[in-house]
Structure 1
Amino acid sequence: MVKLVVKEARFSSVAEVIERLNPSYPVFMVFPEILKDRARAFLSGFPGTVLYAVKCNPDPHVLRALYEAGIRHFDTASLPEIAKINELFADAHCYFNHPVKSRGALESASDVYGLEDYVVDHMAELDKLCDVAGTDIIVEVRIATEHGRAVYDLSSKFGARSGDAVALLGEANRRGARTAVAFHVGSQCPDPDAYRLAMIDAAEIIRQAGVPIEYLDIGGGFPVEYGSPVPPMTAFFDVIIRARDELGLSMPLYAEPGRALSADGCSVLAQVQLRKDGDLYINDGVYGCLAEIQLGGQKPPLRALRLANGKCGPVSGATRTFRIFGPTCDSLDVFKVQFELPDGIGEGDWIEFRRMGAYSIGMQTAFNGFFTDTVVEVAGLNGA
């Protein structure tokens, strides 16, 4: 079937996507009502300002749904992300939260887009920032933290150690900039206590620095379930509120959720193109929208679907374990994680990979010419 690029189509269900399109190409499906529900829950539960981490999923369908739910602040890590948010939402507030920035990007962020909030974790970056953007800004000093049980340890790349962080806060204040503190406990962190421990570290650094603090940004890392249970989001909020009160942190709190807002609200629909006994070859893979399955060892929920007599329904029967290959000619394009699917699945059937809103469409490549550019919206809160 010839590929159709369906940029703005809306469907009532996943079954309708298959029945109307009969796609031989992968489809990225966005569930706006689920995205709005997750955003509203975070906005009402977190005791402070919520920034959506754009890098997690920059698709305009996702961004618009989150904005409609009330998100007005955005964690942006690059000039293209800043430009996209400003083009979509005139009243949005962007924060340049990448600790390493080019001078050209800083100049545009400051002069063209008027950004006021910038993260640094090294004195040379503070020198660069002040040289380009001046000092009528908020300098957000990012500190390193222990990553605990997080899947991705971000402090292995970014974050100032205690003494350096104190020096950065003092120097930024001496130059006339306003100051803030930030940390990130690591992406997909299932341990609420990691936030309490990091807040203890931040409170001590703030005490030693002795400068006014505009806000404490506790970063992202809030998890979703990929096969293994994680605590409910309310457990994280409760720990953060208690730590704030026990530590006497009177400044506003900020957070940068990405996965917690977007993961549940998107699926990837891929088609089986060949079956070799226990191996399935599909049209998306580790170089495409399913990259994080490989990178993070995630095992998202999935289901097999079949079109018969114009109607879509589940593939029935007993299940077995399958190895899944992506579409490229590269032998690395195979998931280390194996999946249980109905034994009757075969060529022409579809697999819906659910809970794929985080680090998916924004991470795909066009390697070997395979690229997902069909994005559709599906109504409803259950992702059916």
Structure 2
Amino acid sequence: MEKLASAAALIQSRRPEKPVLGLRPQAAGRAARWFIDNFDGDVAYAYKANSSVFLIGALYGAGIRHFDVASLPELEDAATIPGAELHFMHPVKSRSAIRRAYDLGVRSFSLDGLDELTKIVEETTGADGRPARDLKLFVRVAVPAINSLIPLEHKFGIAGAAAADLLVKTRQVAAELGITFHVGSQTTTPDAFVAALQAVRELIGVAGVVVDRIDVGGGYPSRYPNSEPSPLVDFIDAIDAGLEEMPVREDVRVMCEPGRALVAEAESLIVRVDARRGSHLYINDGSYGTLFDAAHLGFVFPARMVSREPEAGEPLTGFELWGPTCDSIDHMPGPFMLPASIRPGDYIEIGNIGAYGRAMAGKFNGYGDYEEVILLDEPQVTMYSEDAAVPARFARG
């Protein structure tokens, strides 16, 4: 793959017709090393966030060996990674997916209902009629979303007496019993983890079971112009404090599932301006492509003009973006801050779309084809500057 110093260098050398994904594997590697060094447990990359082989390779090179997969295609793809330990953490799975996962060596599954527990037990029972004795089963509990841009508790998770009962029943068939939760995507403060771990602590007490594993899930944030989260060390500190109060055996194994925090900074989008109408720019990618989150979830990504230098002292202006399809919902309200003089033919780099951008892109109206290049410069904004380094007292071995 072509390597370039920056998006500006790409436009200086040629003016691509298609939108371009600019990969920064070095940013993914840096984020992975931060989590491995500072999270006291297994770091399982949430595969759904971005399955680019270049970024997966960077994560692997940094030391990631655990992967959270949520579908059979993800699982079969990740199963090709040497030495990978896969965790099938979607709480609702087909019987064939469970059986295939077990055949591929997966032993770690999540569930949030008795029906799912029954499926897992039945589909992992051997031909001799003997049930599997090596299952690592995580009961997913519902926890409140606090300061989360994308709450997730309404679709999955079990709570209250039903959760306690499910823990007891799962304990009877699991070689290792775990509890997992998800506080919601792009959670900007650690309060959600504090509340979630308190709920888990109370649930374990009610159920009266021995818990071998705790998976604190994902939700760790990245930086965007409209979302400035607490430093990641604050999340680690809150999780450590909550685990210290947990009624579990001393050797309980802990896991987290970062997705956005590992790859958001590792990809950007380079688009061409095809028309300007006042403060509205028409570009050659949009909500049916990599900018779904900007259109439907309110994300404002960092943006900069990369086709020419702005005029001296030129102010930045807030622009709305429109994608290339014929659909009027192909609209990213922003505002995206760009030079006031921007015009058709200019190119924009939209940063930090590495989390879910590529994964959400489709082919509506025949769009959805991208060039890909590797960019060697730094992301437009980062959670991993030297100022964000963890103090020595938080360092992990």
Classify the TM-score, shorter chain: over 0.9
Match of 1:90 among 82, 86, 93: 82
Match of 1:192 among 184, 190, 193: 190
Checking the alignment, whether the CA contact within 8 Å between 1:306 and 1:314 is kept in structure 2 is no
Q: For residue 295 of structure 1, what is the aligned residue in structure 2? A: 296
* Deviation (angstroms), 1:337: 2.4
Asked whether 1:336 is paired with 2:336, we answer no
* Deviation (angstroms), 1:372: 3.3
How many residue pairs match? The answer is: 370
* Deviation (angstroms), 1:176: 4.9
The code of the aligned residue for 1:258 comes to G
Q: For residue 173 of structure 1, what is the aligned residue in structure 2? A: 171
Distance in 1 between residues matched to 2:371 and 2:158, nearest whole Å? 41
Checking the alignment, whether the CA contact within 8 Å between 2:141 and 2:157 is kept in structure 1 is yes
Long gaps (5+) in structure 2: 126-131, 382-397
Checking the alignment, whether the CA contact within 8 Å between 1:52 and 1:73 is kept in structure 2 is yes
Match of 2:109 among 98, 104, 118: 118
Q: For residue 40 of structure 2, what is the aligned residue in structure 1? A: 47
1:260-303 deviation per Cα after TM superposition (whole angstroms, max 9, x unaligned): 11111111111111112222110110110111112321111110
Long gaps (5+) in structure 1: 1-7, 308-312
Asked whether 1:16 is paired with 2:17, we answer no
Checking the alignment, whether the CA contact within 8 Å between 1:12 and 1:378 is kept in structure 2 is yes
Distance in 2 between residues matched to 1:176 and 1:47, nearest whole Å? 24
* Deviation (angstroms), 1:80: 0.8
The code of the aligned residue for 2:19 comes to P
| 3-state SS of 1:297 partner | coil
Q: 1:382 to 1:154 in 2, by over 3 A?
A: closer
1:40-93 deviation per Cα after TM superposition (whole angstroms, max 9, x unaligned): 111111111100001111111111111111111000001111111122x12111
* Deviation (angstroms), 1:340: 2.4
* Deviation (angstroms), 1:115: 0.3
After TM superposition, the structure 1 = structure 2 runs for residues 92-107 of structure 1, keeping only pairs within 5 Å, are 92-107=84-99
Q: For residue 254 of structure 2, what is the aligned residue in structure 1? A: 253
Distance in 1 between residues matched to 2:83 and 2:178, nearest whole Å? 22
Q: For residue 244 of structure 1, what is the aligned residue in structure 2? A: 243
Q: State TM-score, norm by structure 1.
A: 0.92
| 3-state SS of 1:36 partner | helix
Distance in 2 between residues matched to 1:115 and 1:218, nearest whole Å? 20
Asked whether 1:145 is paired with 2:137, we answer no
Checking the alignment, whether the CA contact within 8 Å between 2:264 and 2:352 is kept in structure 1 is yes
The code of the aligned residue for 2:95 comes to R
Q: State TM-score, norm by structure 2.
A: 0.89
* Deviation (angstroms), 1:177: 4.3
* Deviation (angstroms), 1:315: 6.8
Identity of aligned residues (%): 36
Checking the alignment, whether the CA contact within 8 Å between 2:7 and 2:306 is kept in structure 1 is no
What is the CA RMSD across the aligned residues, in angstroms?
1.7
Distance in 1 between residues matched to 2:378 and 2:74, nearest whole Å? 28
* Deviation (angstroms), 1:320: 2.3
Checking the alignment, whether the CA contact within 8 Å between 1:106 and 1:133 is kept in structure 2 is yes
1:114-173 deviation per Cα after TM superposition (whole angstroms, max 9, x unaligned): 100000001111111111123331111000001012111111100011222211121122
The code of the aligned residue for 1:342 comes to P
Q: For residue 391 of structure 2, what is the aligned residue in structure 1? A: none
Q: For residue 161 of structure 1, what is the aligned residue in structure 2? A: 159
* Deviation (angstroms), 1:174: 2.0
1:337-356 deviation per Cα after TM superposition (whole angstroms, max 9, x unaligned): 22221121111111111111
